[in-house]
């Protein structure tokens, strides 16, 4: 069985659900507290032992490359100002992972973005993580997928149970249970209509895929919006070879591609930080009290 050494992070989309800011700032670069969303995504891949990460970018996404690059002038300034810890943090960032950048010339869909990385991935299994959402789980979500892969082989999808509102917006899986949290995935349907809903298991970011996905991506007809969607290609792959689903244990899903979830992620991760928790809690309590009495200031 081949080792999973590489990951692809598609980050070349338009982010139209997050306009206006995405006109000038990639949604993958929106901050969750004090680091961009894509930082958390790269962190998971690194923690899972991934050796090389391919980030798929586009013309308007240069900020991503700058973020992970060295910045000598800044480092010098920090050192001169005696801010050695800040300087070390900035340096560590550029050493975080071995990154390869690939351009997607046109935003033809998240599946097409994965196809753009084919020549770097080659004939190996690999991980796909979206650039605009991440999961905190114990054990690490990527580790949970790798465990299933190492046991069964084949592709492994991250599954989470969604409520009715989420189901209408996600790629929902038809599955056959294998054992506790592991399933055989029979098909995926993106944004199902009410009569198409057969389960509450959504395939979220975090796809461990065999290279068998590439010929499918190359030949599949464009779907909704004229785009090539990864879930549709994975659904075809499931007819050709085993695709498994791992319902991620102890997981919290943070989605920065959507305004409300983005705000929730910021509040939640800030509340988990020792340096912010107490002051933020006090502020939120005060704010809630004001809103409850209807005295909010305009």
Residues binding ligand UTP (CB under 6 A): 10-18, 28, 56, 104, 107-110, 112-113, 130-132, 257
Q: Which is nearer to ligand UTP, 230 or 237 (CB)?
A: 230
CB of 276 to ligand UTP, least distance (A): 26
Q: Which is nearer to ligand UTP, 78 or 113 (CB)?
A: 113
d(CA 151, CA 79): 49
Residue 134's beta-bridge partner residues? 254
Q: Which is nearer to ligand UTP, 9 or 182 (CB)?
A: 9
CB of 128 to ligand UTP, least distance (A): 9
Using alpha carbons, select from 147, 166, 277 the residue that is nearest to residue 158: 147
d(CA 50, CA 4): 7
Using alpha carbons, select from 235, 171, 243 the residue that is nearest to residue 200: 171
Tell me if the bond preceding 139 is cis, omega within 30° of 0. yes
Q: Which is nearer to ligand UTP, 112 or 141 (CB)?
A: 112
Cβ-contact 4, 127 below 8 angstroms: yes
d(CA 7, CA 42): 9
Q: How buried is residue 258: exposed, middle or buried, by Cβ count under 10 Å (0-12/13-18/19+)?
A: middle
Q: Which is nearer to ligand UTP, 153 or 223 (CB)?
A: 223
CB of 48 to ligand UTP, least distance (A): 18
CB of 286 to ligand UTP, least distance (A): 34
Buried b (16+ CB within 10 A) or exposed e, 48-83: bebebbbbbbbeebeebeebbeeeeeebeebeeeee
For residue 154, what is the DSSP state?
S
Q: Which is nearer to ligand UTP, 14 or 71 (CB)?
A: 14
For residue 120, what is the DSSP state?
H
Backbone φ and ψ of 15, nearest 5°? 65, 40
Question: CB nearest ligand UTP: which residue?
Answer: 13
CB of 86 to ligand UTP, least distance (A): 28
Q: Which is nearer to ligand UTP, 21 or 197 (CB)?
A: 21
């Amino acid at each position: 069985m081949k080792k999973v050494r590489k990951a692809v992070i598609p980050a070349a989309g338009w982010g139209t659900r997050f306009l206006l800011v995405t006109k000038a700032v990639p949604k993958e670069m929106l901050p969750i507290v004090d680091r961009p969303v894509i930082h958390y995504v790269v962190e998971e891949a690194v923690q899972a032992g991934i050796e090389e990460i391919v980030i798929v970018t586009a013309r308007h996404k240069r900020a991503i490359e700058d973020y992970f690059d060295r910045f000598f002038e800044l480092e010098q300034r920090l050192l001169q100002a005696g801010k050695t810890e800040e300087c070390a943090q900035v340096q560590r960032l550029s050493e975080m992972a071995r990154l390869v950048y690939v351009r997607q010339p046109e935003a033809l869909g998240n599946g097409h973005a994965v196809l753009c990385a084919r020549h770097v991935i080659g004939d190996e299994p690999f991980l796909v993580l979206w650039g605009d959402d991440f999961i905190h789980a114990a054990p690490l979500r990527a580790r949970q997928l790798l465990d299933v892969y190492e046991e069964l082989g084949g592709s492994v999808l991250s599954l989470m149970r969604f409520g009715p509102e989420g189901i209408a917006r996600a790629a929902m899986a038809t599955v056959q249970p294998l054992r506790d949290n592991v399933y055989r995935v029979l098909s995926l349907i993106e944004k199902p209509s009410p009569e198409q809903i057969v389960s509450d298991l959504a395939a979220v970011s975090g796809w461990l895929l065999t290279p068998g996905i590439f010929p499918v991506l190359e030949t599949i007809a464009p779907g909704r919006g004229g785009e090539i969607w990864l879930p549709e290609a994975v659904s075809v792959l499931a007819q050709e070879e085993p695709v498994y689903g791992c319902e991620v244990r102890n997981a919290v899903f943070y989605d920065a591609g959507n305004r409300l979830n983005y705000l929730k992620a910021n509040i939640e991760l800030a509340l988990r930080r020792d340096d912010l928790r107490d002051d933020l809690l006090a502020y939120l309590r005060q704010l809630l009290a004001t809103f409850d009495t209807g005295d909010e200031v305009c």
